[in-house]
Structures are given as structure tokens and as C-alpha cells.
A and B are shown apart, each in its own frame.
Chain A
Amino acid sequence: MRADPVIITGTGLIALAALPPASPLLEARLPTHILSQYPVVIAGGAVIGARLARDRPAPWTAAPALLAVILTLAFWLLPRWIDASLTDPATRVAKIASLACLAGLPLGWGWVQAGMVLRGFLIANAAAMLAVMGWLLLAVPSRLCSAYLLTDQRLAGQGLLIAAALLVIGSLGGAMIARDTGMRDRTSGHRTVN
């Protein structure tokens, strides 16, 4: 089988964020850990997932795939498991593997397979989860992660709120553009919903 450049790119992204020299730097601070390492690993998986889904239409897989994304991300945002991934090498491997394969891969796959409603559902859910987590990191007076300072916790909280806001604004913008072009697509026979 010939190596696919998209799959190489995705694997490269995962390796870049998960291996030294970048990983110790990213994991040294809470904001870079969950707002840089996580997104890059997930993006790497998503690129591969989207590529795999391209010529394999299976709309029924979209909902379970996107649900897996939400649940996997929720698990690795638990302060307990953020801490554990720093002290236990096996947990670190499990974190990277599941963020790539159970969050990234199904994100790319499910996004391609999903219709507008499911995509909207995913974005609303992800934004709500990031906002709640961000609010929690800002509101709790004590440290939630034993491995990180309180100042880092506050920074990460602000970052998560910003990420949630960008997600909502971005998808709203996307929806408006889609509505404009959707009219044209429909008359020319393109599929916009499934």
C-alpha cells in the first residue's frame, strides 16, 4: 500500500505533540497541555479519520463517532486523569492513544459522515463542555490538579472559555455562510443535508 500524504501528515501531528522535544514543554503548564497538546493530537487523528471516511459513506456511524469524541474529551479533562498522565507513563500513552483514536479519528470520520443537525449537536455539546470546564477552573478556589499551579489553572480556565466562544462564533459564521451558499447548492442539485 502506498503511503497517503494525508495520513502521514496526521501521524506527524500526533507524534509532534506527543513526543519530545515538544511534549515536555507542552505538558509543563496546564494551559499548553490541554489547549495545545490535546487539540494537535485530536487534529492529527481527525485528519486521518476524514481521509478514511472520504470514499466510505456510512451515515449511521456519524452519531456514535461524534459521541465518542465528546466522552473521550470529557474523560481526559478530568483533573484526576490530567494528573495521572503526568506521573504514570502507561496513563500518558493511554491518553495520547485515546485522544488520537477515540477522539480525533472519530471526529474526522463522523464529521464527514454527519449531516448538519449532528454537526450542530457536536458543536453545541463541545462548547458547553469547554465552557463549564473553563468556568470550573476559574471558580474553584483550590487547585484541581496537584501537578499545576493555581495561576496556570486560571489561565487554562480563561483559555477554555475563549475556545468555547470561538467554537460558537465560528460555527455561527459557518452556518450563515452555508445558508447563503445552500440556496445555490440546492438549485444545482448538490447535497447539503443527509
Chain B
Amino acid sequence: MRAALATVAVAALGAAALWWGTDQGGALTSEAARRLDIAATPRRLPDVTLHDQTGAEMALSEYRGAPLVLEFVYATCPDICLTLGTAFEQLDATLPADARLVSISFDPNDDTERLGWFADRHRAAPPRWRVAYVADARGRDALLDRAGVVVIPDGLGGFVHNAGLYLVDADGRLTAVFDPEDTEGLRARLIGNAR
């Protein structure tokens, strides 16, 4: 009897821990947990100075007032950033005219010239679509940290990172993260937010 009661108690505690630890079974990975958390409590992003592909400077906060979509890339990326670039091309073609796109590099070695490669490949042009780096390392780290972007070296001189499309509302709050393939979902949400 004691054994049965104690076993049931442990089972209940364990089940509760697993239930809590997966957000009611919805988030087995940190990526899923991050997206749930951002959707539930939108995050204000730190203000940083962006240097775009034309050499111009601009503060992230200057984008307030209109919807903004961010993605995080690096100029010499061979795979996932191409998918992200293509996703932005689609958004460029389909989003309302006031919406803005910024591809932000997390590679400290990226400069105006290297960002130009990425911009040219995807025909990105300001003011609609800026490809930018953040010169201030602390600001860059704070931005990545706040957005939940995890970047690790791939051992071949490049990086592996959790890819996504980041929707920032007109108040400058990060409200949702979408898969790179889910441009349609992002567009629907952006238009829904604006209404």
C-alpha cells in the first residue's frame, strides 16, 4: 500500500514536471519554446545602429510606425540564408507597401561590401529591404539574445543558426517567429495585425 501510494505520488510529480517542462506538451525543443514565449509575451528589441548595403546608417527604432520583418543571416552563408533570402524576395513582392524588411548579419566580419553580395543576389534595395550589420558587438549580442537567435560555429568557418522570419509590430515589439518557408503565414499575420 505504501509502495503504491509513493509510486503514484512520484508518477504525478514527474508527469507534472514534464507537463510544465514542455509547455503542456507543446514545446519539446528550445526553438518551439522560444516561439511560444514570443507569441505569448511580445518582446521589445534593444535599439541598435544598422549599417546597410549602401553604407547608410539607421537606428532600428526608426522603423517604428510600420510593420517590420527581420531575418538573421551572414554574407558567406551557403545554405539556410539562401532560403531566408528567397523568403524575403517573396515578402518583398507580396507585403503591403509600408512594410519594411531588414536582413541583419550576425557575422562580425561582414561589412558593406560583403552585405552587397547578399543584397545583389536577392535584389534587395532600400528603403524597402535593407541588408545590414551591427558594428557595436555588445548591441549585436543584445539583439541576438533578445530575439533568441543562437549562432554556433559549424567547424568549417561558417555558422549554424536557428533560422526564422521575425515579425516586429509598429510599436517595435517582436510578436512572432515564422519558419523560413512560412511567408504566407507571416503575411496573413502582418495584415491581420495592421487591421
Residues of A whose CB lies within 8 Å of any CB of B are 59-64, 67-68, 70-72, 74-75, 78-81, 83-84, 87, 143-150
A80 and B6 contacting across the interface, CB-CB below 8 Å: no
Question: How many residues of B are in contact with the other chain, CB < 8 A?
Answer: 27
With A61-B6, A147-B152, A149-B154 already in contact, the answer to whether A67 and B14 are too (CB < 8 A) is yes
Q: B18 contacts which chain A residues (CB < 8 A)? A: 71, 74-75, 78
Given the contacts A80-B22, A145-B29, A146-B150, A68 and B17 also touching, CB distance less than 8 Å = no
CB within 8 A of A143: which of B9, B14, B155, B160? B160
If A64-B9, A67-B11 touch, whether A146 touches B31 (CB-CB below 8 Å) is: yes
Given the interface contacts A74-B18, A75-B21, A81-B21, does A64 sit within 8 Å of B10 by beta carbon? yes
| Inter-subunit contact A144/B29 (CB<8 Å) | yes
B3 and A79 contacting across the interface, CB-CB below 8 Å: no
B6 touching A79, Cβ below 8 Å: no
Instruction: Find out whether the CB atom of A80 lies under 8 angstroms from the CB atom of B152.
Output: no
B32 surroundings in chain A (CB, below 8 A)? 80
Is B9 a contact partner of A78 (Cβ separation < 8 A)?
Answer: no
Q: Given contacts A79-B28, A80-B33, are A63 and B21 in contact (CB under 8 A)?
A: no
9 A-B pairs within 8 Å (CB atoms) are namely A60-B3, A62-B3, A64-B6, A71-B14, A75-B17, A80-B33, A81-B21, A83-B29, A143-B160
Name the residue of chain A whose CB is nearest to the CB of B8: A64
The residue from A64, A80, A143 contacting B27, defined by CB atoms under 8 A apart:
A80
Residue of B nearest to A146 (CB): B150
- B2 near A80: Cβ-Cβ < 8 Å: no
Candidates B29, B155, B160; contact of A80 at CB < 8 Å: B29
